[in-house]
Every structure is written in structure tokens, then in C-alpha cells.
Amino acid sequence: MLLGQEYLYTPGPTPIPDRVKHAMNQPMIGHRGSKFPVLLEDVANRLKPIFGSENPVTILSASGTGALETAAANTIGENDDIVVIVSGSFGERFATICEAFGANVHRLEIEWGKSCKPEQLEDFLKSLNKKITAVIATYCETSTAVLHPIKELGEVTKRVADALFIVDGVSCIGAVPVNMKEWNIDILVTGSQKAMMLPPGLAFVAVNDYAKEHIKKHSSNRFYLDLNRYFSSYDKEKSTPYTPAISLIYGAQEVCKMIEEEGFEQVIERHQLLMNMTREGVKAIGLDLLTSDEDASPTVTAVVPKNSTSGAITKMLREQYSVTLGGGQHKLKGQIFRIGHMGYCTPFEVLKVLNALEMTIYKLEGQDVLGLATKKAQEVWINHV
Ligand SMILES: *Cc1c(COP(=O)(O)O)cnc(C)c1O
């Protein structure tokens, strides 16, 4: 294979546009000088429509898990009753984080591969009959490629529990619609390396005024992740309390420009197309999908192979075609593989991955599936209006 040609289709990290790489190469500046506040304020505001946030978005140096921990550290205390919707490994991770802060975590377990229906949350909250501090949901459960109905879950959270509604949007924010006010989301977090087209290293936290008040009064021990320090540094000097990942923030500024140029509505539409092409293509070569059309995420697709193991498929894709996909996690290990199609991803990228998948199935299973997935995906693209 041509040296350096790697095709990355994992559900994070994802490819970085050249424009963003160049933007990150600007000369270093000090975060207490005059340029950084202009940069930070610009990015914090330009991120607002992407998060559907009324407030500027807070930026920390951490991976996505750091963003989840920030949300927990600033709102959840010892013995608080917290409901976490667990439909895969990232919901489980958030539940474990809450336990680390001493919360009583009530897990609403949803079958892996399915979304949480609003009635399920409503019944669960009513059955607990407790004062719940927060309900935590994952917008896209990356491990199963499911998109949850966040708007409906937010409505139930407020009506039934009147609790904080905290959403992990790590693998979809930047590619999907969201409106914190209309959807009753108090805190929405993501990381940089998935749909945001950036390298790993930034955690984005959008907080509404209601949650800000809660965070101000919250007394649990925390230091680096204490959002109050970030809010006051931003309010006073448009800076951060500690040295920020300045290069990545330059990159984030370029990402905002790219999204504005394409138009955020169009970005959302493109991801729908990528999802439809991937799903129809996979089906056309006789493989199954883990999720229903209704529950499917526009950013990642989970495939259930039939005759070969997922390990054999991903190994051949990697070794012979330099195509990297995601495997299954935890109880889905070995049962599925996942194709990431988010961020810097075009319909041509989907054709590439389907092309390599056809050749892999051809070689592993001796079935002449050449051209089937790509043809179907091309048809989906042609018919897309
Ligand atoms: C990737 C991911 C995370 C964790 O992010 P890291 O950057 O690996 O710490 C959390 N939640 C979801 C839904 C994710 O997809």
C-alpha cells in the first residue's frame, strides 16, 4: 500500500481536514496576552449553534471522558440519587463516573442495540419514587450505534422528575440537530475527536443558566474540572483558569468556519445521507444491521456479520486495504464491527469503505458481492434530494 495512505473509519478519532491542520500550525500565543481572549470568545460563541446553546460553550483540555467527569463533578454529590440510561458501554461509563462521586446510581438498563423509549424512562422514574438530582442520557451510544430520542427524554425528565438533564453528545454533536432550551437539556458535553473534525484533546461543555446556578451552589471537592473557575475566568478576561490547548482551539475556530460555510443544516443532512448510504450498502451484501432504521445514528453504523467473524473482517480490511473500522465493545465484542461516518466524511468516503468491504467479503467468503454495496449506495446518493 502507498505509504501514509490510511483510511480511518473508526467512530473516533476521525480524519482531520487539511484546513484545520493548517489552522493548528499557527505560531503559539500566550493565554494571558491580548490575542487569546479574542480567539476564545470567537470560538465559544461560534460553537453555540452547534450545541443549540444560549450560552458560550466552555472549553477544557481533556478527552470526552473528561467532559463527562466535568458534568458529574460539578453537579453530583455523595448519596444523590441519579438516573443513568445505560444502553451500551458509554452509558455504563457515565454511571461508573457518578458512582465515583458517591452517588446512588439507578441504571435504567436498555437492551443493547435499542433506543430508550420515553415511556421506559417515565415508568422507571415513577417506580423509583425518589428525589432524583439528575437524569443522564447518551445522545449517540457509540458502542451500539443507536441515537436516543433526547428531546422526548428531556420532556419526561422535567415533567416527571424535575431533575437536571445531562447529555453525553460525544459521538454526534456537530452532526445532529440539538436545541438545549427546547429539549430541556441543562448540560451537553462532547469531545473534539469525533464529529468535530479535530484531534483528541478538547472537551466541550455547554451549560444553561439553570445548571450554572446549581453548579455555583454545588459543594463537592473538585479543582481542575471546577466549572466555576472556567466561568469566572471567561467572564472576567475571556480566558481559561489554566493553560488551554491553544493549537486545538485554533483548530476549533477553523471547524466552526467550515461548518458555517457548508451550513449547519447541510452538515446534518450530509450525515443523514452518509448513514443511509452505509446502511443500504451493507444490507445489499447480505450483512445485518444491529439497529433499526428508527434508532440508527447518522454518525456510526454497527454491522452484524453473518458468515465471517467481525475480527476476520476488520483484520483483512486493516491489513490489506489500510481501512480501519471499530470493533464491538464489551458484550458486543466479536459480534459486530462499526463504521464511523462522521465529521470530515463525504459520500465518496462511504463508497470507499463499502468497496473495501465488498472485496473483503468476496475474499473471505467466496461470494461475488463485488459492486453490490457500492451500487446501492450510489443509488441512494443519486436519489437523495
Ligand atoms: C468516545 C466517547 C466517549 C469518551 O471519549 P474519550 O475521548 O475516549 O474519553 C464518551 N461518550 C461517548 C458517547 C463516546 O462516543
**Could you write out the DSSP letters of every residue in 149-188?**
-HHHHHHHIIIII--EEEEE-TTTTTTS---TTTTT-SEE
Residue 2 lies in a domain: no
Question: Which atom of ligand 1 approaches the CA of 171 most closely?
Answer: 15
- Count Cβ neighbours within 10 Å for each residue of 184-212 and write b for 16 or more, e otherwise: bbbbbbbbbbbbbbbbbbbbbbbbbeebb
Domain boundary among 243, 260, 277: 260
Q: Does residue 149 sit in the same domain as residue 124?
A: yes
Pocket of ligand 1 (CB under 6 A): 12, 63-65, 68, 90, 138, 142, 168, 170-171, 191, 200
The preferred substitution site among 93, 146, 170, 192 for testing ligand 1, maximizing ligand atoms within 8 Å of CB, is 170
Sequence-separated (6 or more) residues with CB below 8 Å from residue 263? none
Residue with grid cell 444490507, as numbered in its chain? 283
Q: Does residue 181 sit in the same domain as residue 278?
A: no
Question: Which atom of ligand 1 approaches the CA of 143 most closely?
Answer: 15
Three-state SS at 180: coil
Distance 191 CA to ligand 1 centre (A): 7
Q: What angle do CA 309, 146, 121 make, to 5 degrees?
A: 130
Q: Which amino acid is at 118?
A: P
Q: Which amino acid is at 221?
A: N
Q: Does residue 227 sit in the same domain as residue 278?
A: no
Q: Does residue 112 sit in the same domain as residue 30?
A: yes
pLDDT in 10s for each residue of the chain, 385 residues? 666 789 999 999 999 999 999 999 999 999 999 999 999 999 999 999 999 999 999 999 999 999 999 999 999 999 999 999 999 999 999 999 999 999 999 999 999 999 999 999 999 999 999 999 999 999 999 999 999 999 999 999 999 999 999 999 999 999 999 999 999 999 999 999 999 999 999 999 999 999 999 999 999 899 999 999 999 999 999 999 999 999 999 999 999 999 999 999 999 999 999 999 999 999 999 999 999 999 999 999 999 999 999 999 999 999 999 999 999 989 899 999 999 999 999 999 999 999 999 999 999 999 999 999 999 999 999 999 7
- Number of C-beta neighbours around residue 268 at 10 A: 15
Distance 310 CA to ligand 1 centre (A): 22
pLDDT computed for residue 196 by the predictor? 98
pLDDT computed for residue 380 by the predictor? 98
Domain boundary among 204, 236, 260: 260
Domain boundary among 213, 236, 260: 260
Question: Which H or E run contains 120?
Answer: helix 118-128
Q: Does residue 270 sit in the same domain as residue 239?
A: no
pTM of the model: 0.97
pLDDT computed for residue 2 by the predictor? 65
Question: Which atom of ligand 1 approaches the CA of 68 most closely?
Answer: 10
Question: Which atom of ligand 1 approaches the CA of 66 most closely?
Answer: 9
The preferred substitution site among 168, 193, 338 for testing ligand 1, maximizing ligand atoms within 8 Å of CB, is 168
Range of the structural domain that residue 90 is part of: 18-260
Torsion sign over Cα 70, 71, 74, 77: negative
The number of distinct structural domains making up the chain is 2
Residue with grid cell 476488520, as numbered in its chain? 314
- Cβ burial of 223 (10 Å; 0-12, 13-18, 19+) is exposed
Cα dihedral 87, 12, 196, 385, rounded to 10, equals -80
Cα 363 to its chain centre, rounded Å, is: 33
